[in-house]
C-alpha cells in the first residue's frame, strides 16, 4: 500500500515553491498597481483606422441640441471640437461623463475645446436614457458647463462617424474643420485628446 | 455539493482542514484572498471604460462588491488547494477555474471595441454590425450578474473536485497511519 502524506516532497522544495508563488503575487500586484496609476491612459488612434481618417475634412453632421435648437458640426468651426459619440446606456460612457466633469473639463476648456456629446442615432437600437437625462444624471445637466453641448444626430452621420457601432468613440476636429485624431473609450484616452488639443492651440496658424 | 457517506461537505472540510494545518498555506490563502478581492473591486467597475481606472471604483455596485469578495476568496481557496494538491501529488483542477475567471470578466465585453472588432473582422457590413454588435454588448452588460453566478458555480465545482482529490489522496494516508 502506498501511503501518500502531505509534505512528502522535501521541505526546501516546498519553501521554494511557496516563495515563488509569493513573489509572483507581489509582482502581479505591483504590475497592476503601476498600470492602474500610470499606464491607464491609452494612446489615441493616429493611424486613422476608426471611421474617418485623421487629416480628412470632417463630414457634415446635423446636431440637434438638447435645448431644442438645431445646428451642424460645421457651424461650430472656429473652435476645436471634441465630438464624443455615445450610446447613453453604455456604462463606460456613464462613468466617463462624471470623470470628465470632475477631472478633465477644465483642461479641455482651457485648451479652447468645445465638447460635443452626441447620442448615436436611436441609441444603436437599444433603449437608454435620452440625451437630456444622460446630461443631467451623469454630467450635472446640459447647461452646467459652458462649452459642453449635448445633442442627437442623424442615422447617416452616426453610420459615417461610427461605422463599427462602437459604444464610445470620439474625434478631435480642428478649428478649420479637419479631423485631428480619434479614439475609442474616451475615459481612458482623453489625455491624448487634451494633448492634441493643446498642440492645436499652440501650433502656428 | 457533496453530502456523501461521511456527512455534509466531508471532502471540502477535510481538504480545507488538512491544507490549512500548514501555516504557509493559510498565509498564502489569506494574502491571495485580499489581493484578488482588491484587484476585482477596482477591475469590475473599470472594465466598461476599457482600462484599469482607479477612479471608477466609485461606480461599483453592491452586486459587483459582493462578487469581487466572493470571487477573491473562492479563487484563492482553489489556488491554495491546487498548490497543496501539487505538493501531495493529488490531481489538480485547472480548466474549470480558467472558465470561472473568463466568466468573471464578461462585462469587459461591453463598451470596449472587442465585439465590434471581432464582428468587423468577419467582413460584416455597417448595417449588419449595427444589428448585431450593440445587442451582443448590451446582452453581456445587462446579464453580467448571471455570468458572475456562473463564475462562482465553476469555482465551487473546482473546490469540490480538488477536495475529493485531496481526500482520496490524503485521507487514505491518514487512516493507514492510524491503523
pLDDT tens digits along B148-177 = 999 999 999 989 988 888 888 766 555 544
Is residue B177 within 8 angstroms of chain A, CB to CB?
A: yes
Q: Are A66 and A99 in contact (CB under 8 A)?
A: no
Q: How far is A116 from chain B (nearest CA, A)?
A: 19
Residue of A nearest to B126 (CA): A163
Estimate to the nearest angstrom the gap between the alpha carbon of B122 and the chain centroid: 31
With a cut of 70, say whether residue A68 has pLDDT above it: yes
Percent helix, strand and coil across chain A, each to the nearest 5: 45, 20, 35
Is residue A1 within 8 angstroms of chain B, CB to CB?
A: yes
Q: Give residue limits of the domains in chain A.
A: 11-40, 62-202
Position A27 confidence tier, pLDDT thresholds 50, 70, 90: low
Q: Are A46 and A189 in contact (CB under 8 A)?
A: no
pLDDT average, residue stretch B64-90: 89
With a cut of 70, say whether residue A133 has pLDDT above it: yes
Confidence at residue A4, expressed as pLDDT on a 0 to 100 scale:
45
Is residue B176 within 8 angstroms of chain A, CB to CB?
A: yes
Confidence at residue B175, expressed as pLDDT on a 0 to 100 scale:
53
Contact A164 B117 (CB under 8 A): yes
Position B128 confidence tier, pLDDT thresholds 50, 70, 90: confident
Sign of torsion over alpha carbons B104, B106, B111, B112 = positive
Q: Which residues contact A101 (CB under 8 A, 6 or more apart)?
A: A138, A139, A140, A144, A145
Is residue A10 within 8 angstroms of chain B, CB to CB?
A: no
pLDDT tens digits along B3-40 = 455 567 888 888 888 888 888 899 999 999 999 999 99
- Which candidate from A7, A32, A87 shows the least CB-CB separation from B134? A87
Q: How far is B10 from chain A (nearest CA, A)?
A: 18
Residue whose C-alpha cell reads 463630414 in the numeric block = A59
Is residue A32 within 8 angstroms of chain B, CB to CB?
A: yes
Q: Which residues contact B130 (CB under 8 A, 6 or more apart)?
A: A124, A125, A159, A165
Contact B111 A37 (CB under 8 A): no
| pLDDT, chain A, mean | 82
Edge-to-edge strand ranges of the sheet holding A148-152: A70-72, A62-65, A148-152, A113-119, A80-86, A168-173, A179-184
Selection from B125, B147, B143 nearest residue B135 by Cα: B143
Would you tell me which residues 173-192 of chain A have a C-beta closer than 8 angstroms to some C-beta of chain B?
A: 184-185, 187-188
Q: How far is A162 from chain B (nearest CA, A)?
A: 9
- Which candidate from B28, B87, B173 shows the least CB-CB separation from A3? B173
Contacts with B24 from chain A: Cβ below 8 Å: 14-15, 18
C-alpha cell recorded at residue A57: 475634412
Residue of B nearest to A34 (CA): B52
With a cut of 70, say whether residue A171 has pLDDT above it: yes
Confidence at residue A90, expressed as pLDDT on a 0 to 100 scale:
92
With a cut of 90, say whether residue A18 has pLDDT above it: no
With a cut of 70, say whether residue A76 has pLDDT above it: yes
Confidence at residue A14, expressed as pLDDT on a 0 to 100 scale:
63
Residue whose C-alpha cell reads 484587484 in the numeric block = B39
Proportion of chain B above pLDDT 70, given as a percent: 88
Position A3 confidence tier, pLDDT thresholds 50, 70, 90: very low
Task: State the greatest distance between any 2 C-alpha atoms of chain B, in Å, as a whole number.
Answer: 73
Q: Give residue limits of the domains in chain B.
A: 10-178
Three-state DSSP state, B116 = helix
Query: What is the predicted ipTM?
Result: 0.72
Confidence at residue A26, expressed as pLDDT on a 0 to 100 scale:
57
Confidence at residue A180, expressed as pLDDT on a 0 to 100 scale:
94
Q: Are B152 and B106 in contact (CB under 8 A)?
A: no
With a cut of 70, say whether residue A9 has pLDDT above it: no
Proportion of chain A above pLDDT 70, given as a percent: 74
Cα separation, B176 vs B165, in Å, equals 17
Selection from A147, A132, A140, A134 nearest residue A67 by Cα: A132
Residue of A nearest to B38 (CA): A29
Is residue A12 within 8 angstroms of chain B, CB to CB?
A: no
Contact A21 B55 (CB under 8 A): no
Is residue A167 within 8 angstroms of chain B, CB to CB?
A: yes
Selection from A172, A161, A76, A77 nearest residue A119 by Cα: A161
The region of weakest confidence among A30-44, A151-165, B41-55 is A30-44
Residue of A nearest to B49 (CA): A92
**Architecture (CATH level 2) of domain A62-202:** 3-Layer(aba) Sandwich (3.40)
pLDDT tens digits along A81-128 = 999 999 999 999 999 999 999 999 999 999 999 999 999 999 998 888
Contacts with A188 from chain B: Cβ below 8 Å: 49-51, 53
Confidence at residue A141, expressed as pLDDT on a 0 to 100 scale:
81
Contact B53 A36 (CB under 8 A): yes
Amino acid at each position: 500500500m502506498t501511503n501518500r502524506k502531505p509534505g512528502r516532497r522535501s521541505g526546501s522544495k516546498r519553501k521554494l515553491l511557496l516563495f515563488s508563488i509569493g513573489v509572483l503575487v507581489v509582482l502581479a500586484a505591483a504590475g497592476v498597481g503601476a498600470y492602474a496609476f500610470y499606464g491607464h491612459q491609452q494612446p489615441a488612434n493616429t493611424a486613422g483606422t476608426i471611421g474617418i481618417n485623421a487629416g480628412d475634412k470632417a463630414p457634415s453632421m446635423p446636431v440637434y441640441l438638447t435645448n431644442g435648437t438645431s445646428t451642424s458640426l460645421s457651424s461650430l468651426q472656429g473652435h476645436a471640437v471634441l465630438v464624443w459619440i455615445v450610446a447613453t446606456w453604455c456604462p463606460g460612457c456613464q462613468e466617463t461623463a462624471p470623470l470628465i466633469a470632475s477631472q478633465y473639463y477644465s483642461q479641455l476648456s482651457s485648451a479652447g475645446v468645445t465638447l460635443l456629446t452626441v447620442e448615436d442615432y436611436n441609441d444603436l437600437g437599444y433603449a437608454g436614457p435620452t440625451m437630456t437625462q444622460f446630461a443631467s444624471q451623469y454630467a450635472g445637466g446640459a447647461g452646467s458647463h459652458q462649452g459642453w453641448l449635448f445633442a442627437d444626430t442623424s442615422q447617416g452621420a452616426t453610420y459615417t462617424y461610427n461605422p463599427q457601432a462602437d459604444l464610445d468613440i470620439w474625434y478631435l476636429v480642428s478649428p478649420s474643420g479637419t479631423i485631428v485624431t480619434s479614439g475609442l473609450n474616451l475615459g481612458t484616452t482623453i489625455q491624448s485628446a487634451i494633448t492634441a488639443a493643446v498642440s492645436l492651440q499652440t501650433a502656428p496658424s | 455539493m457533496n453530502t456523501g457517506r461521511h456527512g455534509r461537505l466531508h471532502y471540502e472540510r477535510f481538504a480545507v482542514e488538512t491544507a490549512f494545518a500548514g501555516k504557509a498555506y493559510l498565509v498564502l490563502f489569506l494574502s491571495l484572498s485580499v489581493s484578488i478581492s482588491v484587484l476585482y473591486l477596482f477591475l469590475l467597475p473599470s472594465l466598461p471604460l476599457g482600462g484599469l481606472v482607479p477612479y471608477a471604483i466609485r461606480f461599483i455596485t453592491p452586486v459587483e462588491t459582493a462578487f469581487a469578495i466572493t470571487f477573491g476568496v473562492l479563487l484563492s481557496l482553489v489556488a491554495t488547494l491546487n498548490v497543496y494538491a501539487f505538493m501531495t501529488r493529488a490531481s489538480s483542477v485547472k480548466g474549470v477555474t480558467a472558465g470561472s475567471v473568463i466568466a468573471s470578466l464578461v462585462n469587459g465585453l461591453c463598451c470596449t471595441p472587442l465585439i465590434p472588432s471581432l464582428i468587423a473582422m468577419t467582413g460584416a457590413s455597417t448595417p449588419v454590425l449595427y444589428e448585431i454588435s450593440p445587442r451582443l454588448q448590451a446582452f453581456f452588460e445587462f446579464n453580467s450578474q448571471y455570468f458572475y453566478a456562473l463564475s462562482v458555480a465553476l469555482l465551487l465545482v473546482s473546490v469540490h473536485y480538488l477536495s475529493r482529490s485531496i481526500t482520496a489522496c490524503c485521507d487514505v494516508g491518514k487512516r493507514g497511519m492510524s491503523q
